[in-house]
Amino acid sequence: MKLNTIGVLTSGGDAPGMNAAVRSVVRTALYRGMKVKGILDGYEGLFNKTVIDMGDRSVSDIIQRGGTILGTARSEKFKTQEGVKEAAEACRELGIEGIVVIGGDGSFRGARDLSLQGIPCIGIPATIDNDISSTEYTIGFDTAMNTACEMTDKLRDTVQSHCRCSIVEVMGRHAGYLAYEVGTAVGATAILVPEIKYDLKTDVIDRILAAKEKGKKHFIVVVAENLCDVEAMSKEIEAATGVGTRPTILGHVQRGGNPTVRDRVMATKMGFYAVELLKEGIGNRVIAYKQGEIVNYDIYEALNMKKVLNADDLHIAHRVSR
């Protein structure tokens, strides 16, 4: 079944590159002869019926902008059966026959529920955490890595001047992808991620002491968020090593900024493929990046996939940093 009008929304945590994906979805759909409605503030926009007609020019000048021009929100109402039914009804009233949902795993669960209610949805993975199991890459991850790396490089300057240790907490929700990449890129003495158990003494303190013994004077430890209290950890490290230690939580700065080339290109491709599926009335699928290719999976299947952080990669990073 060919669709005439589709919607596009961004949902969950924002990520740089979401705008580039919106642009791609809108322009691909228009090129394919469909009408496009931008749904504001995630699934909430369906309840509020806040939708805007999108033309080629409504997505001008956004490919390079962080955040999302459509706004994003977390909708508790949408998580209920009644909420999903009401949202599907709203789509019918608004003439929206299918939706491209740009967001994370939570947003995909919503997309599956809406597809089951007769509104075909295609998910595009966008989160700075790269914590979606069905895909090797999520839109926003590259920008966040580069931002966190740049911030940590700045910390390194002062840590080096004062012969200190810097404990840097990066985001990642419950995954260590961001911490691993950033930690490796900044040459961290220790990288702590939720996927791999650590012991503060052997995995951090002893490593700092061993490097100190060999003449190293400043240290960086990268820690994934939700893993420990970095303030308390800093005090313990300082007491055990005698090296002045300061914690820094990078926080939401990692979610902002202009998307990198990689995020823009990936968003453009994923947006295109999402519309190619949806235009035929195909729904309940998510776009993914696997071994250099853009592929798609059934949402249920995708949500049940497993992805693991490679422990060997972490060992390499640690071995090289001494």
Contact flag: residue 107 with ligand ADP (CB under 6 A): yes
The footprint of ligand ADP on residues 23-82 (CB under 6 A) is 43, 74-75, 78-79
- φ, ψ of residue 303 to 5 degrees: the values are -70, -20
CA distance 108 to 103: 7
Q: How far is the CB of 103 from ligand ADP (least distance, A)?
A: 4
Strands (E) located in the chain: 5-10, 35-39, 51-54, 98-103, 121-125, 165-170, 190-192, 219-224, 245-249, 285-290, 293-298
- Contact between 7 and ligand ADP by CB under 6 A: the answer reads no
As to burial, measured by CB atoms within 10 angstroms (0-12 exposed, 13-18 middle, 19+ buried), residue 143 is: buried
For the bound state, the minimum distance from the C-beta of residue 11 to ligand ADP, rounded and expressed in Å, comes to 5
Among 97, 113, 169, 263, binds ligand ADP (CB under 6 A): 113
Q: With binding defined as CB under 6 A, does residue 300 bind ligand ADP?
A: no
* Binding-site member from 127, 241, 248, 254 for ligand ADP (CB under 6 A): 127
Q: Is 103 in the site for ligand ADP (CB under 6 A)?
A: yes
For residues 19 and 124, the answer to whether their CB atoms sit within 8 Å is: no
Out of 14, 105, 113, 129, pick the active-site residue: 129
Task: Classify residue 191 by its DSSP letter.
Answer: E
140 binds ligand ADP (CB under 6 A): no
Is residue 105 part of the contact set for ligand ADP (CB under 6 A)? yes
- From 101-109, 143-151, 160-168, 221-229, give the range in contact with ligand ADP by CB under 6 A: 101-109
Q: Identify any residues that bridge with 261 across adjacent strands, giving them in sequence order.
A: none
From the CB of residue 164, how many other CB atoms can be counted at a distance below 10 Å?
Answer: 18
Quick check: is 129 catalytic? yes
Least Cβ distance, residue 295 to ligand ADP (angstroms): 20
Q: What residues have CB less than 8 Å from 33, skipping those under 6 apart?
A: none
Q: Which amino acid is residue 236, in one-letter code?
A: E
Max Cα-Cα span within the chain: 70
Q: For ligand ADP, how many residues bind (rule: CB under 6 A)?
A: 17
- Per CB under 6 A, does 17 bind ligand ADP? no
Give least dist CB 201 to ligand ADP, A. 35
Asked whether position 109 contacts ligand ADP by CB under 6 A, the answer is yes
Q: Which of 4, 26, 27 is nearest to 120 (CA)?
A: 4
Instruction: Please identify, using beta-carbon distances, which residue of 13 and 16 lies nearer to ligand ADP.
Output: 13
- Find the part of the chain contacting ligand ADP (CB under 6 A) among 106-114, 147-155, 179-187, 238-246: 106-114
Q: Distance between CA 121 and CA 112 in Å, rounded?
A: 7
Residues near ligand ADP (CB under 6 A) are 11-13, 43, 74-75, 78-79, 103-107, 109-110, 113, 127
Catalytically annotated residues: 129
